[in-house]
């Protein structure tokens, strides 16, 4: 029985919308919504949304690489975002909603770069891919009411996902994957 564990950290705009697609994968142990990439220690949601901390909303995934590869996680990530938008994601605008891949080691960096090149060359987008690939920084878990938001507040979450434009975008570019 495998007990190997690694971390993957992705920023894809609103973290509420990023958890569900990954939790369906066998080998994913946990997904935490939080903040990373900035300079403020222990930021709050309000501070991060003020675009003064340098942080983005992100998720950190603990996974077993023998059951689900980092490359598979990257594939799922790309299918949740608009990687051509440098100003945020969908209706959520600003620095805190920008996309990024935060790598934890050289192997992840290389896989992320290869994955980005693949999306640039073969993906459905005509605009340049602007999602950066950055070294992982300290990850701060978000407040408890943001954890598993899609389960705790199903109705509001569904309205948000549709109303923000994310659901329509995914359907348009990836066929609702």
Q: What is the CATH number of domain 6-174?
A: 3.30.1060.10
Would you place residue 131 in the very low, low, confident or very high pLDDT band (cuts 50, 70, 90)? Answer: very high
Contacts of 143 (CB under 8 A, 6+ apart): 44, 45
Residue 176 has a pLDDT of 56
* Residue 49 annotated among the catalytic residues of the structure: no
pLDDT tens digits, one per residue of 10-31? 999 999 999 999 999 999 999 9
Percentage of residues in the chain having pLDDT higher than 90: 95
From 14, 32, 49, 56, active-site residue: 14
Query: Model's pTM, two decimal places?
Result: 0.95
Domain ranges in the chain are: 6-174
Helices (H), strands (E): how many in the chain? Answer: 7, 8
Residue 175 has a pLDDT of 84
Would you place residue 45 in the very low, low, confident or very high pLDDT band (cuts 50, 70, 90)? Answer: very high
99 φψ region: left (φ > 0), alpha (ψ -120 to 50), beta (else): beta
Q: What angle do CA 48, 132, 104 make, to 5 degrees?
A: 85
Residues in the chain: 177
Q: Where do we find the tokens 């920008």?
A: 98
pLDDT tens digits, one per residue of 148-174? 999 999 999 999 999 999 999 999 998
Percentage of residues in the chain having pLDDT higher than 70: 98
pLDDT tens digits, one per residue of 59-110? 999 999 999 999 999 999 999 999 999 999 999 999 999 999 999 999 999 9
Helices (H), ranges, the chain: 16-23, 45-49, 70-78, 106-122, 149-152, 154-163, 166-174
């Amino acid at each position: 029985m495998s007990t190997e564990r690694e971390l993957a950290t992705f920023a894809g705009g609103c973290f509420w919308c990023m958890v569900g697609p990954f939790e369906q994968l066998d080998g994913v142990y946990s997904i935490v919504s939080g903040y990373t990439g900035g300079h403020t220690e222990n930021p709050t949601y309000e501070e991060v949304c003020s675009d003064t901390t340098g942080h983005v909303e992100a998720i950190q995934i603990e996974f077993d690489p023998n059951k689900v590869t980092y490359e598979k996680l990257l594939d799922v990530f790309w299918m949740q975002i608009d990687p051509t938008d440098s100003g945020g994601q969908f209706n959520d605008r600003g620095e805190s909603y920008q996309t990024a891949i935060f790598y934890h080691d050289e192997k992840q960096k290389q896989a992320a770069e290869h994955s980005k090149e693949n999306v640039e060359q073969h993906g459905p987008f005509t605009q340049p891919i602007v999602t950066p690939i950055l070294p992982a920084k300290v990850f701060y878990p978000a407040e408890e009411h943001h954890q598993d938001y899609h389960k705790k507040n199903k109705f509001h979450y569904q309205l948000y996902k549709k109303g923000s434009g994310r659901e329509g975008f995914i359907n348009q570019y990836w066929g609702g994957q």
